């Protein structure tokens, strides 16, 4: 029996773009226990509801996270709309769906790049990020912002996408899809990636379920939860099947995200074909009085925005529950028993978004 | 241009940013912007770095981390605050846990505006920082210890 040593991982570490600290208890090269500690980017933005009026708080909600900012803004707006009984126009719901799916494409490609970097495949990192620029160009053209879009508001959306542009976007997706197929082939079939990821950081189906895993982390372990199936925005009118893999290892989680890229492209095509003409917003009347939990599928899993109003311009409480927080207990489970050299790959495999998690 | 500004190495740290600026800093490395053609490399080791790029404001817990990273970098060094949060606290300045911009802990040489800062402006900010780096090298300026950290910087 060898002596136990503790190796600190983070908060500043080459593979982590964001700070999280994990104390790894090692026995030789094997991790016995992982103890995460968080709080390096906690800002406390939920308390800003007391200082901003409820339509202005959308800007703060969007800045919870720069990667999935549109979905944060949308989920907050959905919650306020439910409290105030606002019927959002159909066209706005479709536009929200389209932007959500472009956000998912951009987030997944970003993650695939970082994952390739953690595996040590620099070329693939560059290829993924090059493909991602196409998505950012579309977002910039249609909303004005590359990463923070600011196009969602209480009662609808801020701007419309003209029909001609929608047609062109759908056409451009064909070229984009071909490029993605090349990248996807490498992620799914390359020997070096399979060697680094298959059988690494295994999370069983039961563990994923009982520890509360969400999003691709849960779907990689065979738990088919996808909040888009609840039919918020326009998802109820579109056809798709959640991607589920059963391996439970890093390879399965990677495969889920790779395959979801194509689901997103398909959803955008369907939405662009079905989108009805009409208004894109309704003016909210009065102030929110009541409370609501709004849920949506973020690229990383289930996002919950809770709002509570008392009839004044300022909300009483906002609470944000993000998928990375729910994916931390599964991460601790995966890390126990792994090799030290696999830690970066496993940590990245849950797609940690610390900015969201700590708010 | 001397050897120093031909190949500056960058240390990137996310203080309390929302990730928006972080991913734009990383986007500078992607083939579209490709800062490696200027010899700029993103390193993870403060001892190798010439330029400290920080996104997001200072909060109670990362105050010491930022000070520590700055103290570990060899002279001459420059600090680039990327985005409005790093410059002044931005939209989060009224949050209870946010102290303010980076300059309340370490001296900042270049402020890059924007929420989120665009890759073009980040590259511009770093290029501006390089001429400051040159000057510091010529004058042989030793950076003063970080304000409030006591003599010799923080440990």
**Where in chain B are the domains?**
3-139
Task: Give residues 113 to 132 of B whose Cβ lies within 8 Å of A.
Answer: 115-116, 118
Please report, rounded to a whole number, the percentage of residues in chain A having pLDDT higher than 70: 99
**Residue A86 has which token pair?**
């606002």
Query: What is the bridge-based pairing of β-strands A21-27 and A156-157?
Result: unpaired
Structure confidence at residue A34 as a pLDDT band (50, 70, 90):
confident
Whole-number Å distance between alpha carbons of B125 and B80: 7
Pairwise CB contact (< 8 Å): A17 & B14: yes
Is A89 within 8 Å of chain B by CB? no
DSSP codes, A121-154: -HHHHHHHHHHHHHHHHHHHHHHS-SS----EET
Check whether A1 has a pLDDT greater than 70: no
DSSP letter, residue A40? T
**pTM confidence score:** 0.87
Interchain CB distance below 8 Å, B65 and A130: no
Question: What is the average per-residue pLDDT within A180-208?
Answer: 88
- Partner residue facing A41 (CB), from B27, B56, B91: B56
| Nearest-Cα residue of chain A relative to residue B58 | A41
Confidence of residue A15 (pLDDT cuts 50, 70, 90): low
pLDDT at A198: 86
Q: How many CB pairs under 8 A join A and B?
A: 121
Res B148: pLDDT: 47
Q: Which domains does chain A have, with CATH numbers?
A: 45-331 (1.10.645.10)
Task: Report yes or no: A99 and A280 within 8 Å, Cβ to Cβ.
Answer: no
Is residue A21's pLDDT more than 70? yes
Question: Which contiguous run of DSSP H or E holds residue A309?
Answer: strand A301-310
- Report the distance separating Cα A72 and Cα A324, nearest Å: 14
Domain B3-139 has CATH 3.40.50.12280: yes
Calculate how close chain A gets to B150, using CA atoms only, in Å: 23
| Position B141 confidence tier, pLDDT thresholds 50, 70, 90 | low
Q: Region A199-222: what's the mean pLDDT? A: 88
Average of per-residue pLDDT across B56-71: 85
A112 interaction partners in chain B (CB closer than 8 Å): none
Task: Tell if the CB–CB gap between B14 and A126 is shorter than 8 Å.
Answer: no
Q: Which residues of A232-259 are buried (b: 16+ CB within 10 A; e: fewer)?
A: bbbbeebeeebbbbebbbbbbbbbbbbb
Chain B residue nearest residue A62, CA to CA = B18
pLDDT value at position B81? 92
Residues A138, A104 contacting (CB under 8 angstroms) = no
Burial of A346 (0-12, 13-18, 19+ CB in 10 A): buried
Contact residues, chain B, for A60 at CB < 8 Å: 91
> What pLDDT is recorded for position B3?
58
Q: Is the pLDDT of residue B151 over 50?
A: no
A222 part of contact set with chain B, CB < 8 Å: no
Say whether B17 and A355 touch across the interface (CB within 8 A): yes
Q: Do A126 and B30 touch (CB under 8 A)?
A: yes
Whole-angstrom distance, CA of residue B44 vs CA of residue B34 = 18
In the predicted model, is pLDDT for residue B19 greater than 70?
yes
Q: Coil, strand or helix: which one is A42?
A: coil
% pLDDT > 90, chain B? 4
Residue with tokens 């030789």: A28
Distance CA B62, CA A5 (A): 25
Q: Residue A120: what pLDDT?
A: 81
- Tell me phi and psi for residue A118, to 5 degrees: -65, -35
Burial category of A48 from C-beta neighbours within 10 Å (exposed 0-12, middle 13-18, buried 19 and up): buried
Record: contact B61-A63, CB cut-off 8 A: no
Question: Residue B143: pLDDT band by 50, 70, 90 thresholds?
Answer: low
- In sequence order, which ranges of chain A are alpha helices (DSSP H)? 57-62, 69-84, 90-119, 122-143, 163-189, 191-197, 205-210, 215-219, 250-274, 323-335, 343-349, 354-358
Q: Is residue A340 over pLDDT 70?
A: yes
Cis omega (within 30 of 0) on the bond before B143?
Answer: no
Q: pLDDT at residue B146 above 70?
A: no
The verdict on a CB contact (< 8 Å) between B27 and A133 is yes
Residue A197 and residue A119: Cα distance in Å, rounded?
Answer: 8
Q: Which residues in chain A touch residue B57, judged by CB atoms under 8 angstroms apart?
A: 43
Q: Which of residues 48-107 of B touch A (CB under 8 A)?
A: 56-57, 59, 61-62, 65, 69, 91-92, 94-98
For residues A83-111, give the mean pLDDT: 90
Report CA-CA distances (Å) from B77 to B48, B50, B72, B106, B140: 11, 5, 10, 12, 11
CA distance A126 to chain B (A): 6
pLDDT, mean over chain B: 81
According to DSSP, residue A16 is labeled -
The structure tokens 């200082």 sit at: A51
* A232-262: pLDDT as tens digits: 888 888 888 888 988 888 899 999 999 999 9
Give me the mean pLDDT over the A25-54 stretch: 83
Instruction: Over range A130-153, report the average pLDDT.
Output: 88
């Amino acid at each position: 029996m060898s002596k136990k040593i503790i190796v600190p991982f983070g908060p500043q570490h080459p593979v982590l773009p964001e700070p999280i600290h994990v104390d790894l208890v090692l026995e030789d090269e094997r991790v016995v226990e992982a103890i995460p500690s968080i709080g390096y980017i906690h800002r406390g933005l939920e308390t800003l509801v007391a200082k901003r009026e409820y339509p202005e708080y959308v800007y703060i909600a969007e800045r919870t996270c720069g990667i999935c900012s549109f979905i944060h803004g949308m989920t907050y707006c959905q919650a306020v709309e439910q409290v105030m009984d606002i019927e959002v126009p159909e066209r706005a719901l479709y536009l929200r769906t389209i932007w959500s799916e472009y956000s998912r494409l951009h987030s997944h490609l970003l993650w695939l790049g970082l994952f390739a970097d953690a595996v040590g495949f620099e070329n693939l990192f560059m290829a993924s990020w090059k493909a991602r620029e196409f998505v950012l160009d579309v977002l910039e053209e249609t909303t004005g912002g590359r990463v923070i879009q600011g196009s969602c508001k209480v009662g609808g959306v801020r701007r419309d996408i003209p029909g001609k542009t929608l047609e062109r976007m759908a056409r451009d997706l064909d070229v984009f899809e071909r490029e993605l197929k090349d990248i996807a082939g490498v992620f799914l079939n390359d020997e070096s990636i399979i060697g680094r990821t298959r059988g690494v950081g295994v999370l069983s189906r039961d563990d994923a379920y009982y520890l509360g895993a969400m999003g691709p982390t849960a779907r990689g372990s065979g738990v088919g939860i996808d909040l888009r199936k609840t039919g918020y925005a326009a998802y109820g009118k579109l056809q798709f099947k959640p991607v589920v893999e059963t391996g439970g290892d890093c390879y399965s989680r990677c495969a889920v995200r790779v395959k979801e890229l194509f689901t997103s492209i398909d959803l955008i095509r369907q939405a662009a074909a079905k989108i009805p003409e009409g208004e894109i917003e309704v003016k909210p009347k009065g102030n929110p009085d009541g409370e609501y939990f709004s849920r949506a599928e973020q690229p990383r899993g289930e996002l919950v925005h809770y709002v509570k109003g008392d009839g004044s311009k300022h909300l009483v409480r906002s609470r944000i529950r993000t998928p990375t927080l729910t994916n931390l207990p599964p991460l601790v489970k995966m890390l126990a028993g792994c090799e030290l050299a696999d830690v970066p790959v496993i940590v990245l495999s849950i797609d940690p978004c610390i900015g969201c998690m700590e708010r | 241009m001397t050897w120093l500004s031909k190949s500056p190495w960058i240390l990137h740290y996310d203080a309390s940013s929302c990730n928006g600026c972080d991913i734009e800093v990383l986007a500078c490395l992607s083939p579209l912007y490709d800062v490696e053609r200027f010899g700029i490399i993103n390193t993870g080791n403060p001892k190798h770095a010439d330029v400290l790029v920080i996104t997001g404001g200072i909060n109670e817990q990362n105050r010491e981390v930022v000070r520590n990273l700055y103290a570990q970098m060899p002279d001459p060094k420059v600090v680039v605050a990327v985005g409005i949060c790093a410059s002044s606290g931005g939209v989060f300045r009224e949050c209870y846990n946010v102290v303010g911009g980076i300059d309340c802990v370490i001296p900042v040489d270049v402020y890059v505006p924007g929420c989120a800062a665009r890759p073009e402006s980040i590259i511009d900010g770093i290029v501006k920082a390089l001429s400051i780096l040159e000057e510091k090298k010529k004058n042989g300026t030793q950076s003063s210890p970080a304000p409030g950290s006591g003599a010799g910087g923080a440990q």
